[in-house]
Structure 1
Amino acid sequence: MEANTRSSGRLPAAFLTPGSSSFMDFLSEHAPEQLPGNRPLPPVKGAVEAPHGTTIVSATFPGGVVLAGDRRATMGNMIAQRDIEKVFPADEYSAVGIAGTAGLAVELVKLFQLELEHFEKVEGAQLSLEGKANRLSTMIRGNLGMAMQGLAVIPLFAGYDVDRGEGRVFSYDVTGGRSEERGFAAVGSGSVFARGSLKKLHRDDLTEEQAATVVVQALYDAADDDSATGGPDLVRRIYPVVAVITDEGFRRLTEDEVADIARSVHDGRLQSPNGPQAPVL
Structure 2
Amino acid sequence: MPQDHFRDAAPYSLLGGSGAGGRGVSRDSFSDMGSMGSNFYDLLRSKCPHLLPDFSGVVAEGGVLSEKIPRGTTILALKYKDGVIMAGDRMATEGYQVSHRHIEKIYRTDDFSAIAISGAAGPSIEMARLFQTEMEHYEKVEGEGLSLEGKANKLAQMIRQNLPAAIQGLVVIPIFAGYDEQNGEGRIFKYDLTGGRYEESEYHATGSGGKDARNTIKKLYRKDMERSEGVRVVLEALLDAAEEDVGTAGPDPVKGIYPSMKTITKERIKDVPEEEIKSIYEALIERRRSG
Q: TM-score, normalised by structure 1?
A: 0.89
SS in 1 for 2:175: strand
For 1:239, the equivalent position in structure 2 comes to 258
SS at match of 1:256: helix
Q: Deviations over 1:59-101 (max 9, x none)?
A: 1012200000001111111111111111110111001111001
* Secondary structure at 1:151 match in 2: coil
- Partner in structure 2 of residue 176 of structure 1: 195
CA contact (8 A) 2:148 2:179 kept: yes
Matched residue SS, 1:96 = strand
Corresponding residue of 2:71: 52
Number of the residue aligned with 1:129: 148
Root-mean-square deviation (Å) = 2.0
Gaps of 5+ in 2: 1-15, 17-22
Give the CA deviation at 1:237.
1.1
Say which of 88, 91, 110 aligns to 1:91: 110
Stretch deviating more after TM superposition (252-261 or 239-248): 252-261
State the match for 1:20 in structure 2.
Answer: 37
User: Post-superposition shift, 1:38?
Assistant: 8.5
Q: Among all aligned residue pairs of Structure 1 and Structure 2, give the percentage whose two residues are the same amino acid.
A: 45
Aligned counterpart, 2:160: 141
Give the whole-Å Cα distance in 1 for the aligned partners of 2:178 and 2:231. Answer: 15
Q: Which amino acid in the other structure matches residue 240 of structure 1? A: P
Alpha-carbon separation, structure 2, partners of 1:24 and 1:150 = 22
Using the alignment, how far apart are the partners of 2:160 and 2:64 within structure 1? 23
Counterpart residue number, 1:185:
204
Whether the aligned pair in 1 keeps the contact of 2:73 and 2:208 (CA below 8 Å) is yes
Matched residue, 1:101: 120
Distance 2:33 2:201 in 1: 43
**1:45–1:116 distance in 2 versus 1, CA, 3 Å:** closer
Alpha-carbon distance change, 268 to 80 in structure 1, aligned in 2, over 3 angstroms: same
Q: Is the 8 A contact 2:88 2:261 kept in 1?
A: yes
Q: Which of 130, 145, 154 is matched with 2:173 structurally?
A: 154
| Cα offset, 1:19, TM superposition | 3.6
Give the count of matched residue pairs: 266
C-alpha distance in structure 1 between counterparts of 2:246 and 2:258, whole Å:
16
Q: 1:276: which partner in 2? A: none
Instruction: Verify the 8 A CA contact 2:88 2:116 in the aligned structure 1.
Output: yes
Per the TM alignment, residue 16 of structure 1 is displaced from its structure 2 partner at its CA by 5.3
In the TM superposition, what whole-angstrom CA distance separates every residue of 1:184-242 from its partner, at most 9, and x where no partner exists?
00010101100101111111020011111111111111111000000111111100001
Counterparts of 1:13 and 1:261, CA distance in 2: 50
The letter for the 2-side match of 1:233 is: D
Give the conservation status (yes or no) of the 8 Å contact 1:140–1:153: yes
How far 1:48 sits from its partner (Å)? Answer: 1.6
Which residue pairs with 2:233 in the alignment?
214
Q: Cα–Cα, structure 1 residues 38 and 56, in superposed 2: closer, same or farther, change >3 Å?
A: closer
Q: Matched residues in 1 for 2:245 and 2:153: separation? A: 31
Q: Deviations over 1:8-38 (max 9, x none)?
A: x752354554541121121232233433369
Structure 1: 5+ residue stretches without partners: 273-281
TM-score (norm 2): 0.86
Could you tell me whether the CA contact under 8 Å between 1:37 and 1:145 is conserved in 2?
no
Point out the more displaced range, 126-135 or 10-19: 10-19
